[in-house]
Each structure stands twice: as C-alpha cells, then as structure tokens.
C-alpha cells in the first residue's frame, strides 16, 4: 500500500505524517503538492492538519478548490482510501466528501490537550478489531473542531454505522464533561457510507512514539494496515 500526504499552504503536520508513515512504519510514502493533480500512484491519501490557506473564509473552504482535490475526489469515488486529520477533516466536509461541518469551539478558544477517544463503529478500517474495552489517548489542537450536523444527518450517521470515535472520559463515559469543543454527541470522527473516506479531529500522528509517551495513534494506524491488506 502506497501512501500520499498532501501539502497545502499553511499545512503544519504534513512532514510529521510522512515521518510516521515512512520512517516509523516503513511504508512507501510520497509527498503531494496541492497544485498538482497527479497522486503519483498513491493508494491511500492523507489530508493532514494545519491551517490551509490561513483558515480564511472557513477552515478548508479554499483548500477544497486546490487542483489536487479534483484527483482526491475522483480517487475516493473509485473506492480509494482518503483520510483527513484535523484540518484535513475540515477540508473533507467542505468538499462534501463527508457529512456535517466543523465550526468554532464552543468556548471560542483554541484547545490543545490530550483527549480520550471511545471507538464506536466496529466495522471501520480504523476501528475493526481493536480493543473496545478501553479508550485511546490522542491530542487535539484546534480552534474550529466542533462537529455539527442536523438531527436527520446525525440519525443517518448512526443508522449507517458512520461514527468512528466519540470524546469520552478515561473510563469510556461519553458526556458533556469529556467534550472539549461542543461537538454534537461528542463526535470526534466519522466515515462516509462506503467506509473509504475517514475524518478524524484529533492528531493521531502526534501519538506514535514512546519518546512522546504515547503510542495510541500508532495502534490506530497499524490497525488500518491490518484491515486494508
């Protein structure tokens, strides 16, 4: 499996993502520039975190118009894998590749801290087969991470098993006290109906090393590999 990591102007986590995939996991990885339309044979595309185009207008609203996104959307339509993390998640919702939107945190402040993720779907490439008896500690770093969708769309997400993770306590309790940004139903990540497009707000790539004291993100990346082989 060949991975491609897109770099947009204002991206801050693209090199981190390449490091995790290429250096830590030993996977074939290629950097993709936003002005290109060639995915260079990459089979799994990652839209990384950061502040594409300075977050002008709405986060991800300009990035969705980049030439590379035409190729990314066609790739997804053919069944190819795409995952957006933080700003990448925002881009996917702006491009209409995922339901809902990401708006200002409920407290109107940038939040940077570790959160606990409770896996929800048991049939996603990122959650299938993992330990559902525990939560996964992953950092967030965003000012506009509050997931929102209308009530009917939330029902569809539930009905189609599209919710990947919810913010929770260490004990796995999903409630308001464990919600860092005001997201509807504590939703931290979703997938499309086909399960090949994933959006996750927390930074999995920042939880991949013993040096950082946390490898829960690495566990989730490795689980993806297990499920797509």
The helix or strand, by DSSP H or E, that contains position 18, with its residue range, turns out to be helix 14-18
CATH number of the domain residue 65 falls in = 3.40.50.880
Active-site residue, 205 included: yes
Active-site residue, 104 included: no
- pLDDT (tens digit per residue) in 205-216: 999 999 988 999
Domains identified in the chain, total number: 1
Structure tokens at 124: 């996603």
Active-site residue, 203 included: yes
Q: Above 80 in pLDDT, residue 56? A: no
Q: Which of 13, 86, 99, 116 does the annotation list as catalytic? A: 86
C-beta separation of 88 from 63 below 8 A: no
Q: Which of 111, 91, 112 is nearest to 102 (CA)?
A: 91
Strands 111-119 and 163-168: antiparallel
Q: Which residues pair with 79 in a beta bridge?
A: none
For the chain, helix (H) and strand (E) counts, in that order, are 5, 11
**% of the chain surpassing 90 pLDDT:** 92
Residue 196: domain span: 3-228
Mean of all residue pLDDT scores within the chain: 96
Q: Which of 34, 75, 142, 203 does the annotation list as catalytic? A: 203
Q: Above 90 in pLDDT, residue 53? A: no
Name the residue with tokens 């185009």: 53
- pLDDT (tens digit per residue) in 190-201: 999 999 999 999
Q: What is the mean pLDDT of residues 88-106?
A: 96
At 219, give phi and psi (nearest 5°). -55, -40
| DSSP secondary structure letter of residue 39 | -
C-beta separation of 216 from 137 below 8 A: yes
Q: Which of 94, 99, 116, 205 does the annotation list as catalytic? A: 205
| pLDDT at residue 60 in the model | 84
- pLDDT (tens digit per residue) in 6-43: 999 999 999 999 999 999 999 999 999 999 999 999 99
Give how far Cα 142 sits from Cα of 47, 97, 109, 114, 200, Å: 15, 21, 9, 12, 12
């Amino acid at each position: 499996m060949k991975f491609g990591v897109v770099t947009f102007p204002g991206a801050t986590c693209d090199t981190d993502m390449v490091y995790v995939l290429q250096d830590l996991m030993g996977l074939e990885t290629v950097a993709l520039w936003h002005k290109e339309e060639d995915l260079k044979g990459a089979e799994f595309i990652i839209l990384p975190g950061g502040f594409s185009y300075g977050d002008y207008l709405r986060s991800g609203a300009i990035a969705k118009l980049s030439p590379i996104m035409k190729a990314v959307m066609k790739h997804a339509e053919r069944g190819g894998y795409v995952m957006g993390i933080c700003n990448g998640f925002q881009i996917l919702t702006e491009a209409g590749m995922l339901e809902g939107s990401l708006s200002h945190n409920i407290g109107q402040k940038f939040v940077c801290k570790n959160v606990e993720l409770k896996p929800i779907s048991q049939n996603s490439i990122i959650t299938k087969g993992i330990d559902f008896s525990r939560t996964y500690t992953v950092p967030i770093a965003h000012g506009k991470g509050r997931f929102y969708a209308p009530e009917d769309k939330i029902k569809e997400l539930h009905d189609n098993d599209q919710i990947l993770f919810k913010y929770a306590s260490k004990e796995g309790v999903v409630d308001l006290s464990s919600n860092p940004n005001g997201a509807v139903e504590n939703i931290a990540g979703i997938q499309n109906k086909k399960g090949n497009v994933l959006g996750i707000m927390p930074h999995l790539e920042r939880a991949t090393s013993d040096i950082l004291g946390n490898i829960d993100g690495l566990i989730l990346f490795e689980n993806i590999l297990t499920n797509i082989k």
